[in-house]
Amino acid sequence: MVYKKNEIKNIVLNYVKELQSRIPVEKIILFGSYAYGKPTKSSDIDIAVVSEKFKKMDDIKRIMLLSDYSRRIKCSVDIDPIGFTEDELAKADYFEIGGEIVEKGVVVYHG
C-alpha cells in the first residue's frame, strides 16, 4: 500500500511520541522514496532522527534503540530510522547517506 503524505506524517509523529519517552528528539527528516515522491507498495519510511543524545551512543546502540521503537508503532509499513546529531549531519559529505538527507530530505518534525 502506498501511503499519502498526511498518513506518513501521522505515522512519523506517532513514532516521535513513543521515542521521546526515551530520548529528546530535535528533528525528524524524511528521506527516500516517500520524501522524493516515488513510493511503491514495498517502500518503507526512511527517517533521520536528530538528537544530541546520540553523542554518547555508538552506531550499534543507536540502531538498537531506534529499531526497538519503530517496532512499537502499529502500522503496515516498516519504519527505517537512522540516528544523527546535528553536527554529524552538518559535516556529512554529499556522497554519504547524511549528505543525501541534508540535500534532499524533508523535515517532518521539529521539536
The grid coordinates of residue 32 equal 527516500
Handedness of CA 44, 51, 100, 62 (dihedral sign): negative
> What is the spatial order of strands in the sheet that 106-110 belongs to?
79-84, 45-50, 27-31, 106-110
Task: Write down the pLDDT at residue 34.
Answer: 98
| Local confidence band at 19 (pLDDT 50, 70, 90 cut-offs) | very high
CATH superfamily of 5-110: Beta Polymerase, domain 2 (3.30.460.10)
Q: Are 58 and 77 in contact (CB under 8 A)?
A: no
Helices (H) then strands (E): counts for the chain: 5, 4
Confidence (pLDDT) at 80: 97
